[in-house]
C-alpha cells in the first residue's frame, strides 16, 4: 500500500492547494445555487433575459462562450457558472436545475433556442471545436451530443443509410436493396446493435449485398487498437462508401500532439463518434456524433412537429436544433464538458491524455520484466489499454496447450472475485477470440500515479499466488 | 403583479420552513459530498464495499431501497444520500460523481451490477413500483429507464417488431412483410420518428399491409386528450396486435386516485411509456419503458459482448442489466426519481398531480368567463393542458371566416415575442390541423398558484390589447 499522500485535487480543480480550495470552491458554488433558487422563488424575477443568438455568441458583459487553450482560474469558473444561470431560462423542465420550483405555469418546450439559449450555443461551440480538432474545414460539419457512444454510432448508420437512400425515411427498408455494413472483428458491439435496431439485421454486418457503410475503430474497446484510417478511407473513396470512425474511446488522443498521429486520416471520415465521457474524463453521459455533410442530420431526422418548431418566431430558428436529433427533450450534456474545457483548457486535456498513456507504458514495461505475468500482446500499447494474464506458480512451467488454457481461463475470475470482496481495487477481465480470460487495464484517470499501477500488480500477484486451480483429475 | 410571498420550498423540500431550511439542507449535502470526495482522494479507502443483490435489497444497516407512501423527513433524506454513496463503487466513469478523481487505474465497465450495485437495484424497485401502479401482476413486467420518452416509444416499436418477427434482429427488414403501425393524428411525433429510424418508414404509420402495433396516447402533447384504452385494447386483442400506451405525459395521473380513471385499461397494454420528467417533476431526463412480457427486452437487444457480460462472475449476473438496452453506458436517471419518491412519498406525488389539474380547471373557468379569450375546446380539460386564443378588440366583432383566421393566426406570435422580450412569463403557442396559432398552457409545477394563472392571463390581455394586426389592405 502506498503511503497516504496530499489529496490530489488536480483533476477536480485547476489548482493544487488541496482540500481547503476544494471546500471553498464548493462553498461558493452552493452560494450561487442558493441565491439562484431563492431568486427563482420570487415572483418578481424574470423568467428569462432574452438575447438573440448572435448577441450571446459575441459575449455579453464579459461572458465568453469560447473554449480556451489555457485553463481559467477558479474565480473565473465561478463567474462562468453564475453567468450560465443568469442567461438561461428560469422556468422549465429543460435544465439541470429544473427540479426547482418555477414562478409561472410551466410551458412545454424542448431544445429550442428560447428555452435553452445558453446550452444550444455551448453545444454549437463544442461541436465546432471538436470538428476543428478532427480536421474538418469551416464549411463542413454538423453534429449533436448523444446519450452515449452507442447512440452516436447508431446515428452514423442511420445517416449513411439516409444519405444513399433518402426514401427509407418514409417508405422503410422494403424500398431498399439488402444493405451491408463493414466493420472489424474488434469493433464495438454497438455497430451490430445499430444494424439490429435500424432493421438492417446484425447478419448484414460484415458480409453481403450492397455495401454502403464502413466502420473503422480508432481505439478498440478491449485492446485499444487503431484501424489504419487512411488505407480504409482510400478504399471507401474509390467505392463511394460512407466512412464512419468510431473514436468513442480513441478520440481523446486527438487532444495530444504526441498521440494524435494514431488517428491520421480521421479528417476523411464522413462521421465520427467521440465520447468525452471516456478519455477526457467528462461525467457520463457525454458523447458526440460529428457529421461532415451539413444539413443531413436535419433532413434525416426532422418530423416538423408544429408544436415545437414554429417558423414564425422572432429570432433565427436555425438555432432550434431539436429536430436534428432522434430524441425530443434532451439531457444537458454540454455544460459539463464546456466547464471542464474552461477549467483545463485544451492544454489541460493534452497533458491529461499524455499522463494516461504514460501510465499504460509504465504498466507495459513492468509486465515485460515480470515472470509471473504475461502480456497478451508483446507490442507497445497504442492506447491506454494493457491486456495481460497473471500466471500462478502451478502454470509457470506448463507447456502451452488446451490444458494450460483451460486452467489459465479460471485465474482472472478467481482473482477478481477475491479482489471485489476485499474492495481495495477493481479491474476487468474477459476472454476474446482464441484468448482465454485476461485482465484488461484501462487508464483514463490522470490522478492515477505509477505507484498505483505498481500497487495493482502486487495486489493481483498476491491474490493470485495462492489460488487453487483445479486440475483435469479434479473435474 | 402579485405581491412578494414567502418562498415556496414545498416543491424542493418536504418542509415548509423556508429559505433557512433550504440553506442548511444544501449545506449538509455539500458536507456529505466533500467528505466523500476527500475520502476518495485517499488511497487507503476501499473502491467498493461489495454486497450481493439480495443483501442490498433486504436493506443493510437501515438503508432501505423501498419506496414509501408518506414522505421521509429531511434528516432521513440526507442519510439516504450518504448511504447511496457509501454502497456505490468509488471508482468509475459510471456515476453522477465520476468527475472526482479515483485512486486506482480506471476500469472499463458499464451498467453491470459490480459497478452500479445501488443504481441497478433502485432501477429495479422503481420499475416494479411503476408496473404495480400500471396494474400488472407480480409475474409480469420488465423495463428500462430511457433517455427520454421518444426513446421509450422507440423501444416499444422495436420490441413489438421483434416479438412478432424475431428474425428481424439478424436478417433485417428484408426478411419481413411490409409492416404497419396504427396511431392517432394527435399522437406524439416520436411514433413516426421511431418508424423512420427503425427502417419501417414513416409512411407505414397509420395505413398499410401487415398491422402489428397500435399506439394509444394517454395524454396527448398539445390537447392533453386520452385515447379510450379499453376500446382500443379490445380491438388489439381480437386481432392479436401489440398495444403500446404512450403515457409519457399522462402517466403522472396514475398517481392520483381522482384522475387515474382516465387511464382505465392501461393494464392491458403490452408496453407503456411513462416520463417522470414531465408531470412528476423529475429533472430531465427520466423516462421509463415498461414491458409486460419478461425476457423480451433482453432477447431483443442483447449482443452478448464478452468484455462486459461474463457469465463466470461470482454473483447473480441477471443483475447485469446493461444488455437489455440499446445503449451501452447509461446516465443514472433513477437516483433522482428514487430520492424524490423518498422525499414526497406516493402521496406527495398524488397531491402534486391534483394541484396541477386544479390549476388547469381554474384557468379553464376563468377563460370561459372572459370575452377577450376563446377556448379551443369548450369541454373540461382532461389533463393539465388548456388551449386558447386571445382575441384582440379589433377581432372581437368579426364574423368567423378565413380573414379572421388569418389575422388571429398572427396574434399569439406577436404576444409571445413581446412577452419574451419582457421576460416576465413564458408560454407556448402553435397551430394544429385547422386551428390557427393558439396558446397552450401546461401545468406540471405544483408551486404554481391560482394568482400566477390570473397574472398570466392579465399579462397576455395587456400585451395583446394594443398589438396591431395588419388588415388585408396593408398587405
Ligand atoms: C470503441 C467504442 N465505441 C463505442 C462505445 C459505446 O459507448 P457508450 O458506452 O457511451 O455507449 C464504446 C464503449 O465502451 C467503445 O469502446
Ligand atoms: C405524449 C408524448 N409522448 C412522447 C413525448 C416525448 O418525450 P421526450 O421529450 O422525453 O422524448 C412527449 C413529449 O412532449 C409527449 O408529449
In three-state form (DSSP H/G/I as H, E/B as E, the rest C), the secondary structure along A24-56 is HHHHHHHHHHHHHHHHHHCCCCCCCCCCCHHHH
Count of helix runs (H) and strand runs (E) in chain B? 13, 10
CA distance A277 to chain B (A): 7
A221-238: per-residue pLDDT in tens? 889 999 999 999 999 999
Are B96 and A174 within 8 A, CB to CB? no
Q: What pLDDT, in 10s, does the model give residues B256-314?
A: 999 999 999 999 999 898 988 889 888 888 888 888 988 888 887 776 666 666 667 77
A118-130 per-position pLDDT tens digit: 777 888 888 898 8
Which residue's CA is the closest to the ligand 1 atom numbered 5?
A149
Whose grid coordinates read 402521496? Answer: B347
Q: Which residue has the higher pLDDT, A370 or B422?
A: A370
Note the pLDDT of residue A449.
87
DSSP A236-302: HHHHT-EEEEEETTGGGGGG-TTTGGGGTTGGG-SEEEE-TTTTT-PPSS-EEEEESSTTHHHHHH-
* CB-based contacts of B193, cutoff 8 Å, min separation 6: A301, A303, A326, B150, B154, B202
Chosen for mutation from B48, B197, B421, B448 (greatest number of chain A CBs closer than 10 Å) is B197
pLDDT at A260: 95
In this predicted structure, the answer to whether residue B11 has a pLDDT above a threshold of 70 is no
Greatest mean pLDDT among A291-305, B2-16, B64-78, B419-433 lies in B64-78
Confidence of residue B55 (pLDDT cuts 50, 70, 90): confident
Q: Which atom of ligand 2 is nearest to the CA of B247?
A: 1
- Among the partner-chain residues A199, A277, A420, the one whose CB lies closest to the CB of B200 is A199
Q: B106–A448: do the CB atoms touch at under 8 Å?
A: yes
State the cell numbers at B272.
Answer: 407503456
* Bridge partners, A245 (sequence order): A216, A272
Angle, helix A74-87 to helix A334-369, in steps of 10 degrees: 140
- Render pLDDT for A251-269 as a digit per residue (tens, 0 to 9): 999 999 999 999 999 999 9
Q: Nearest to residue A268, comparing CAs of A294, A219, A295, A234?
A: A234
Residue nearest to atom 8 of ligand 2 (CA): B149
Residues in chain A with CB shorter than 8 Å from the CB of B100 are: 11-12
> pLDDT at residue A319 above 80?
no
pLDDT at residue A343 is higher than 60: yes
More confident of the two residues B49 and A101: B49
Query: What is the Cα–Cα distance from B48 to A75, expressed in whole angstroms?
Result: 34
Q: Hey, are the CB atoms on B201 and A168 less than 8 Å from each other?
A: yes
Q: Residue B380's closest CA among B226, B200, B228?
A: B226
Q: Which of A41-50, A427-436, B427-436 has the lowest mean pLDDT?
A: A41-50
B430 contacts in chain A (CB < 8 Å): 306-308, 310
Q: Which of A211-215, B231-235, B334-338 has the highest mean pLDDT?
A: B231-235
Q: What does pTM read for this prediction?
A: 0.80
The confidence score (pLDDT) of residue B111 equals 54
| Distance, CA of A460 to CA of B82 (rounded, Å) | 31
Does B191 sit in the ligand 2 pocket, CB within 6 Å? no
A129 Cβ contact partners less than 8 Å away, ≥ 6 residues apart: A67, A341
Q: Which of A472, A474, A467 minimizes the C-alpha distance to A394?
A: A467
Provide the pLDDT for residue A2.
Answer: 35
* pLDDT over 90 percentage in chain B: 28
Closest residue to A34, CB basis, from B4, B26, B149: B26
Q: Which atom of ligand 2 is nearest to B153's Cα?
A: 4
Is pLDDT at B5 greater than 50 in this prediction? no
pLDDT of residue A380: 94
Q: How many other β-carbons are positioned within 10 Å of the β-carbon of residue A74? A: 17
Residue A109 has pLDDT above 70, yes or no: no
Percent of chain B with pLDDT over 70: 84
- Closest residue by Cα to atom 9, ligand 1, is B329
Residue from A31, A87, A169, A172 to probe the interface with B (highest B Cβ count within 10 Å): A172
**Percent over 90 (pLDDT), chain A:** 29
pLDDT higher than 70, residue B102:
no
Q: Which residue, judged by its Cα, is nearest atom 5 of ligand 2? A: B149
User: Is the CB of A328 within 6 Å of ligand 2?
Assistant: yes
How far away is chain A from the Cα of B136, in angstroms, using its nearest Cα?
27
Please state, in angstroms and as integers, the Cα–Cα distance from residue B36 to each residue in B47, B79, B98, B100, B117, following that order.
Answer: 12, 13, 12, 10, 18
Q: What is the pLDDT of residue B4?
A: 34
pLDDT tens digit sequence for A38-52? 776 666 667 777 788
Distance A151 CA to ligand 1 centre (A): 9
- Separation between Cα atoms, residue A207 and residue A209, nearest integer Å: 7
Cell of B422: 419582457
Bridge partners (DSSP) listed for residue B389: B374
Mean pLDDT score across all residues of chain A: 81
Distance from CA of A249 to the nearest CA of B (A): 11
Mean pLDDT of the region B236-263: 92
A-chain residues near B11 (CB < 8 A): 100-101
Cβ distance of B284 and A98 shorter than 8 Å? yes
> Across residues B225-246, what is the average pLDDT?
91
Inter-chain CB proximity B4 and A447 less than 8 Å: no
On whether the CB atoms of residues B44 and A422 are closer than 8 A, the answer is: no
Residue with cell 414526497: B344
pLDDT(B415) > 80: yes
Distance from CA of B330 to the nearest CA of A (A): 7
Residue B379 is predicted with a pLDDT of: 93
Q: What is the pLDDT of residue B282?
A: 85
Q: What are the angstrom distances between the C-alpha of B218 and each of A53, A431, B211, B224, B449?
A: 36, 47, 21, 8, 26
Per-residue model confidence (pLDDT) at position A357: 96
Give me the pLDDT at residue A249, please: 93
Contact check, Cβ <8 Å, A200/B9: no
Distance from residue B398's CA to the centre of ligand 2 (Å):
37
pLDDT at res. B112: 66
pLDDT in tens, A59-108: 878 888 888 888 888 888 899 888 888 887 764 332 222 222 222 333 33
Closest in B10, B49, B305 to A189, CB measured: B305
Q: How confident is the model at residue B463 (pLDDT cuts 50, 70, 90)?
A: very high
Q: Would you say residue B213 has pLDDT above 90?
A: no
Please report which confidence band the pLDDT of residue B202 belongs to, taking 50, 70 and 90 as the band edges: confident
pLDDT band at A111 (very low <50, low <70, confident <90, very high): low
| C-alpha dihedral, A452 to A454 to A460 to A463, nearest 10° | -90
Least confident span in A112-116, A182-186, B199-203: A112-116
C-alpha span between B125 and A368 (Å, rounded): 47
Question: Is A101 in Cβ contact with B171 (below 8 Å)?
Answer: no
Q: Do A426 and B47 touch (CB under 8 A)?
A: yes
Confidence of residue B340 (pLDDT cuts 50, 70, 90): confident
State residue B264's pLDDT score. Answer: 95
Contact B318, B169 (CB under 8 A): no
User: Does ligand 2 come within 6 angstroms of the Cβ of B248?
Assistant: yes
- pLDDT value at residue A471: 53
State the ipTM, two decimals: 0.76
The arithmetic mean of pLDDT across residues A270-276, rounded, is 89
SS3 state of residue B364: helix
A260-269, A378-387, B114-123, B288-297 — which is least confidently predicted? B114-123
Residue A54: predicted pLDDT: 83
Mean pLDDT across the stretch A150-179? 88
* Å between B405 CA and nearest CA of chain A: 16
Whose atoms come closest to the Cα of A330: which ligand?
Answer: 2
Chain B neighbors of A440, CB-CB under 8 A = 107-108, 307
Ligand nearest to the CA of A224: 1
Per-residue model confidence (pLDDT) at position B145? 82
Contacts of B94 in chain A (CB under 8 A): 284
Query: Is the pLDDT at B93 greater than 70, yes or no?
Result: no
Identity of the residue in A161, A285, A423 whose CB atom sits nearest the CB atom of B50: A423
Question: Which pLDDT value is given to residue B305?
Answer: 64
Of the listed ligands, the closest to the CA of B193 is: 2
How close is the Cα of A188 to the center of ligand 1, in Å? 6
| A330 touches ligand 2 (CB under 6 Å) | no
Whole-number Å distance between alpha carbons of A384 and A281: 14
- Whether A405 shows a pLDDT value over 90: the answer reads yes
* Average pLDDT along chain B: 81
Q: Residue A100: its pLDDT value, please?
A: 26
B-chain residues near A148 (CB < 8 A): 327-331
Q: What is the model's pLDDT at position B97? A: 24
Amino acid at each position: 500500500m502506498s503511503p497516504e499522500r496530499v489529496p490530489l485535487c488536480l483533476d477536480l480543480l485547476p489548482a493544487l492547494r488541496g482540500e481547503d480550495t476544494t471546500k471553498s470552491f464548493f462553498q461558493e458554488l452552493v452560494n450561487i445555487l442558493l441565491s439562484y433558487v431563492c431568486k427563482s422563488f420570487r415572483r418578481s424575477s424574470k423568467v428569462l433575459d432574452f438575447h438573440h443568438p448572435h448577441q450571446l455568441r459575441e459575449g455579453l458583459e464579459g461572458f465568453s462562450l469560447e473554449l480556451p487553450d489555457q485553463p481559467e482560474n477558479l474565480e473565473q469558473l465561478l463567474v462562468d457558472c453564475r453567468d450560465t444561470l443568469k442567461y438561461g431560462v428560469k422556468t422549465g423542465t429543460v435544465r439541470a436545475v429544473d427540479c426547482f420550483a418555477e414562478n409561472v405555469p410551466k410551458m412545454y418546450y424542448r431544445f429550442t433556442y428560447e428555452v435553452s439559449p445558453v446550452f444550444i450555443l455551448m453545444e454549437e461551440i463544442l461541436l465546432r471545436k471538436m470538428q476543428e480538432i478532427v480536421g474538418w474545414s469551416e464549411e463542413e460539419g454538423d453534429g449533436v451530443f448523444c446519450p452515449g457512444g452507442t447512440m452516436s454510432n447508431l446515428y452514423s448508420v442511420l445517416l449513411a443509410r439516409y444519405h444513399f437512400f433518402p426514401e427509407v425515411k418514409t417508405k422503410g427498408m422494403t424500398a431498399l436493396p439488402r444493405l451491408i455494413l463493414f466493420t472489424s472483428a474488434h469493433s464495438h458491439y454497438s455497430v451490430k446493435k445499430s444494424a439490429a435496431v435500424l432493421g438492417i439485421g446484425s447478419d448484414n454486418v460484415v458480409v453481403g449485398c450492397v455495401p454502403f457503410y464502413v466502420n473503422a475503430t480508432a481505439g478498440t474497446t478491449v485492446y485499444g487498437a487503431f484501424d489504419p484510417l487512411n488505407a480504409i478511407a482510400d478504399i471507401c473513396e474509390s467505392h463511394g462508401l460512407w466512412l464512419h470512425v468510431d473514436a468513442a474511446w480513441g478520440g481523446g488522443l486527438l487532444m495530444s500532439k504526441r498521440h494524435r498521429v494514431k488517428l491520421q486520416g480521421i479528417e476523411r471520415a464522413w462521421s465520427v463518434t467521440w465520447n468525452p465521457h471516456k478519455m477526457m474524463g467528462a461525467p457520463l453521459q457525454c458523447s458526440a456524433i460529428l457529421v461532415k455533410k451539413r444539413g443531413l442530420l436535419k433532413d434525416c431526422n426532422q418530423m416538423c412537429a408544429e408544436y415545437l418548431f414554429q417558423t414564425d418566431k422572432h429570432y433565427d430558428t436555425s438555432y432550434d436544433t431539436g429536430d436534428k436529433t432522434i430524441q425530443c427533450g434532451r439531457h444537458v450534456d454540454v455544460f459539463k464538458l464546456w466547464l471542464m474545457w474552461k477549467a483545463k483548457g485544451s492544454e489541460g486535456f493534452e497533458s491529461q491524455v499524455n499522463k494516461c498513456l504514460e501510465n499504460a507504458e509504465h504498466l507495459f514495461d513492468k509486465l515485460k520484466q515480470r515472470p509471473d505475468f504475461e502480456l497478451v500482446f508483446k507490442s507497445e500499447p497504442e492506447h491506454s489499454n494493457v491486456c495481460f494474464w497473471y500466471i500462478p506458480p502451478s502454470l509457470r512451467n506448463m507447456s502451452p496447450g488446451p490444458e494450460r488454457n483451460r486452467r489459465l481461463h479460471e485465474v482472472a475470475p478467481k482473482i477478481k472475485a477475491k479482489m471485489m470482496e476485499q474492495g481495495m481495487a477493481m479491474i476487468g477481465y474477459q476472454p476474446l477470440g482464441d484468448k482465454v480470460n485476461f485482465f484488461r487495464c484501462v487508464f483514463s484517470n490522470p490522478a492515477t500515479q505509477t505507484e498505483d499501477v505498481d500497487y495493482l500488480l502486487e495486489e493481483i500477484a498476491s491474490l493470485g499466488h495462492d489460488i487453487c486451480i483445479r486440475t483435469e483429475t479434479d473435474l
